[in-house]
A and B are shown apart, each in its own frame.
Chain A
Amino acid sequence: MTLESVAGLYNYWVVIFLMMTGFYIVLARKNLIKSVIGLNIFQTSVFLLYITMGKVEGGTAPIVPPAIAAAQAHAAHGSDAGHAATPHVEGAHEVAHAALQHGGELASTTTEIIYSNPLPSVLMLTAIVVGIATTALALALVVRIREDYGTVDEERILELDRGE
């Protein structure tokens, strides 16, 4: 267990801590609303796990900065007239380089911009909205349970079900 691996892995450990906190809330608390909140925390920690994996050291967000994007679009329109041909990846690199030289004050950069991985972002983005919709469903069920049983306490509900 070197210091290097601690520095490389602590993110995962924090995520696991949060995940286990959510799990503990679900297990140890009887109130149904609290359980839903615990599930929410668990869910958020999963989002954080995915986003953590997508980060690249020294990278930036996968949104091309406006200045570079404008230069790029200009270069792309200038070079190939029709969009019909599918450019190769090397072509994209050249376009990016041309854009870097094109955009005046950006010319000093020989290093390419590193972008973090956009794929985890996409997966989690949809998952968050689906998550709130399903949370709303769970809360609706909690409301109905309260209306029928008069309580949101798990053990009380079980007792009522057993007919005590």
Chain B
Amino acid sequence: MTPDLLPSELTAGVLMATSFAVLLTMTLALIRAALGPTVFDRVLALNMFGTKTVLLISVVSFVTGRSDFLDLALLYSLMNFIGMVALLRFTQYNDFGGSVAAPGESETR
């Protein structure tokens, strides 16, 4: 480990507390995703879970002192958005290829 990159004791303590708060939130989101009576509850929980993962990665990269891994957090936020769009498209149109997209056209359903 590279000692110069590590945060000080107090900072590390605060970062650990923060990461536990984020983990707790992730657990709560997981509970909602498992319970979720409707589709939309689950998708909402998934969205929130993705955001929390981004935060967890950022905080953990500060704890371990390798903050050059923040690229990963960036990627997670992008992938979360793509997954959300795919789920929305699936719940709304239930197909992926259709010609629903041309501006001015009316929707197929």
Contact = CB atoms under 8 A, between A and B. Distances in A.
Q: Note whether A and B contact each other (Cβ less than 8 A).
A: yes
Contact of B1 (A59, A66, A105): A59
A114 B64 CA distance: 13
B46 to A, nearest CB: 16
B69 A60 contact: no
Contact of A113 (B1, B64, B68, B69): B1
B2 interface: yes
A106 B68 CA distance: 17
A61 interface: yes
B22 to A, nearest CB: 20
Contacts of B85: none
Interface string A49-75: 000000000111101011010000000
B105 interface: no
Interface in A92-107: 105-106
A109 interface: yes
A131 to B, nearest CB: 17
A30 B3 CA distance: 53
Interface string A108-125: 110101100000000000
B78 interface: no
Interface string B33-71: 000000000000000000000000000000011101100
B9 interface: no
B68 A109 contact: no
B62 to A, nearest CB: 14
A84 B69 CA distance: 33
B31 interface: no
Contacts of B65: 60
A78 to B, nearest CB: 22
Contacts of A66: 68
Contacts of A114: 1
Contacts of A111: 3
Interface in A109-163: 109, 111, 113-114
A58 B68 CA distance: 18
Interface string A37-54: 000000000000000000
Which 8 pairs between the two chains have the least Cβ-Cβ distance? A60-B1, A113-B2, A106-B4, A58-B1, A109-B3, A65-B2, A105-B4, A61-B66
Given A65-B66, A109-B4, 8 more contacts: A60-B1, A60-B2, A60-B66, A65-B2, A65-B68, A109-B3, A113-B1, A113-B2
Interface of A: 58-61, 63, 65-66, 68, 105-106, 108-109, 111, 113-114
Interface of B: 1-5, 64-66, 68-69
